[in-house]
Structure 1
């Protein structure tokens, strides 16, 4: 209905047709489940109604200091735009003051300064995309009861090239009121879920009691919660994928049997490394390097994708663990058994003349199949020999890295690793416990659940400590995930055992269980 921007505001038929269309949009808004659905599915209809090019809906964040909008930038990617609630941007000004703005030319600095001396139009997006903003109609999404601004609705560029008309101003104010009601009714949809699987309850796939019971059962049986939900609760991967997508705020990517294997991206990646690091490049497109992950936050924090592909811009999509492993198998096929001895593994690792590798080379070396097997073998041997700690001690120059086990309180030498692998072996351990591989100047602490990487159900507490020459020492403490011992198996004297039973049977007081770490 482009006539609303062609001087047809006085035309009764045009006005009736416009508000009839607005009522249709209003009904669809009330039928949606969340704000993303309004943005991604109703955007075209709203733009058509107002004869505008683009629509953006901002939501006031919980801190009430910024507004944010989730914008679809391609088939697989969604980008979050955040602006401060302040006078230095058009949308931020509307969120701050609650006033509607109808701007003729966003590039006209005099027009913007007449509204606020601090206001400016951010041209970075236009310069990057080649799209130029001119007209802007921006209105607050405010509660009719309290007057609180819940968000901002913004239309960009009329199709006629003229300023947005009076009827468009009236319509966007009504649309803002409708959205305020929708925001209030769906406030839970705007709140970040507290857990990866909370969305299953919101989607009525599980009850809260069922999710709690499944979580407890998975913990008792030593299974992943995802596997239990798929096997015993008969959920579909797409159900879980939708929930974790909402939690992490990135698109869900299901397994696709027809996906083409990206040979150029997989050239320097090993199957074992990809499987354990839990990220996999799928394709490179104009949006960036589409990367499949099970935990986007871990991938972003570790910057491991940027380190392996320094010239690429990662665009993350999330998937379930089972679908990730299906894709890994699709790209790499089966993996060889990891049963080589530590001496055989060391014989395959050749020394070079370098004084150490940069981070990018460390990551590449850490992905090497032989190094991955070596680290696993060190942990397995430490457990089998009854060691309580593993000490990784790199030395400067061309001296080999010493690895020692602590058994019965005493440190005993285990093996020495070529100096060229001193940084990659530390990097590999950091990857296993989700630490920042680029941080080498500060101590870090983490843990490894070794069941993800090897045949043992044990946990390791990891500490890294910077040493001289830019090196890092690593200490790993082994903690067995054993079942609790019955009281009568603790080896107490009979008198002490009787006193213990009498003490803990009392209905009052505090009983302390103290002992060494682990």
Structure 2
């Protein structure tokens, strides 16, 4: 099937003098109709779209307007990358899947205002043969190309690139440019600088202290840091990022700038800059590197150098995940789906701070959230606002505690209740009461393993028979670093390494050791091999050998035997041994072993994270 098109000459992309008329005085159909139809033909010829999909998109275009490629992507008929390739082919322009950031001429790119670059989603990359290569999300924006030529005084050649990749490159360039700046002398007056930032990099001409702090936050977000530590010493201030659970020193500043840096962060967090003797807590919310970031700020006075500051970073757009995306094996995923659809009972997620418990609870709530359920949560703090769910933030200053919020919930006809943490007897007793009166309760508790959650409730003062009758499952979890997919290397493991993570060497040699499937598994290692982190890593992982994290789990279901052991006050270790032997429960280390076999992490990482997991 051929798609009709009129024979109209393609518009020139050469940079001509700008007309005196307004940019909006052209009929978009005159400029774009032929190109859109030609893109449809290219996509069909390449097997990327079906004629009926093109026809449907053209019909939508007749009524709603817009570009054909954008409509096809919006209708999920075609991938954006395929549309961009077709556009490049149609216009005889090169198309890049990635922008080689190491080749970007920063001095060239930063000659243009960041607001202009972001508005038009373009970036001059480098000069070749006297012509500036400009990556663009929209190569048809010839007026923007005119502006680039005028501003740079050189001819330009557009390159088609996905708009979000252009934005990432802009953020990289301006972040790098800020980080190379030094703090000047005596430029620490920051009075009146407490206003909100629309985007932290848009403030590019303020005092050096402000630029330095902004670039610190920007760099932390780009490097996926979860925490920033600003630690003053006797001679200088040291800044460290926690990336994938590991602290890395990233920069230092001279001692004379410590008060100004601390004051700037306090102003942003709404704290009292005059109070230096007492710890303070505050929050910052900013748009950083295209992301909506919440920051929890904590200060503490020290005996050396003054106050230190810790900033916890939370990407609000990256909190909510699907259960299948956070590391559950296919067997655990099936069981969890059954558990969270129960009408009543308590499900506890256990683990230390920073082990991803809240992420797991949010994923569970997102899975069951529907108009026919009344779901309420009490959290400290509310990290992500969920549509259709009533969420309450703990505020101990007015005695709004976990137990107070939970007690109030029982008068609101709930179906499902999520309690951020069970940390005292009052909260535990009300949670048990709620579960025994027909409500499903999800919560967390701090223990090393799943069985430890049972004994922890008893230690809080809950009667063992109440624990046995209300609990339905406990899920222990930890976060392990994922191997960098760009530099991980295969090797032949020793038998003792295999056994240490629950892998049978004989089954491994025969290629039968892996029994669990995970969503998004990378390419598996060759038979008889595992993957490990390459020493020194690569540029993708910043030399760490790891990039990103995934969770390992230990799921304990309470059968009649476990309930009887609970009533008899059996210790956690014996409950765990029974569950592993009789209920086929995988320990944290065994689950990590399955992820090692899948090429997701390494033996060394699993052993380090599960050091307390007895085998």
TM-score greater than 0.5 by the shorter chain: no
Q: Given the two structures, how large is their TM-score scaled by the length of structure 2?
A: 0.25
